[in-house]
Amino acid sequence: MGKLYKTVLSLVLSFSFLVSVQPNSAEASSNSLQTESVKMLLTTIDIPVAEDQELVRHEEANSVKVEVIDKNTGEVAEVYSESLEANLQAKALGLASSNILSTSKTRTDGPVQTQLLVKMVVSGSGSFAQINSIASQTMSIINSNGFTLEDKDVVAIPVNNTFPTYKIEASGSGVLTYSSTNGTSSGISFDILKAASFNMSGSSSSTWYARKPISMNLTYSVQ
């Protein structure tokens, strides 16, 4: 009897150990992401890419755009872009040659697109490039569709807490909101936003509300 009890106890403990070391689904999902360092116009950025996604690059004279595309559906999940323009204010003041570098990240949540945009004053090129200051930092909806972005918080700072610098960390957060009083408005339905992971309240056939907290982060490096 004692031997039987010890055998059963041993099996239970072994099974408990096996269960305890199994990764949860969230960990498995995050482990499937790979970070790719992508050279843009002047900066290099790190883009997380899932196994079922691919990067598509578009380049022109003074701009670069990289799309993160779902291999199965062809839908664009995120867009990273960078463009260069002359710093007319600096030129007018007779200051050293510098340019305005516009860098952005755009995310898609169902029918709405939100963009984190940072404009930096840069000078030099190659290994001699540097970021002299932040001209502006914004986060906004770029295809309204009746959505609003509430409780916005946007930050862009140099990693060494001073300028000039070679690297900027930017982040933005907010809450996407939408409301409808007639079931479906402008082709946007309760079910569409629910499928896009919005928090829904109200009745799908009459008045309803949708909310979704979002955040975006990006690091820009000119070296």
- pLDDT, averaged across the chain: 82
How many helices (H) and strands (E) the chain has is answered by 4, 14
185: number of Cβ within 10 Å: 15
CA 85 to chain centre: 24
Percent of the chain with pLDDT over 90: 56
pLDDT digits (tens, 9 = 90+) for 39-49: 998 899 989 99
Q: DSSP secondary structure string, 43-72?
A: -EEEEEE-TTEEEEEEEETTEEEEEEEETT
pLDDT digits (tens, 9 = 90+) for 164-178: 999 999 999 999 999
> Quick one: which H or E segment has residue 149?
strand 148-158
Cα–Cα distance, 205 to 96 (Å, whole number): 61
State which amino acid sits at residue 54.
E
pLDDT digits (tens, 9 = 90+) for 52-91: 999 999 998 889 999 999 999 999 999 999 998 876 555 5
pLDDT digits (tens, 9 = 90+) for 172-214: 999 999 998 876 666 788 999 999 999 999 887 788 999 999 9
Contacts of 86 (CB under 8 A, 6+ apart): 99, 100
* Pair 72, 65: CB distance under 8 Å: no
DSSP assignment, residue 142? S
Give the position of tokens 């930092």: 137
State which amino acid sits at residue 3.
K
Backbone Cα Rg of the chain: 24
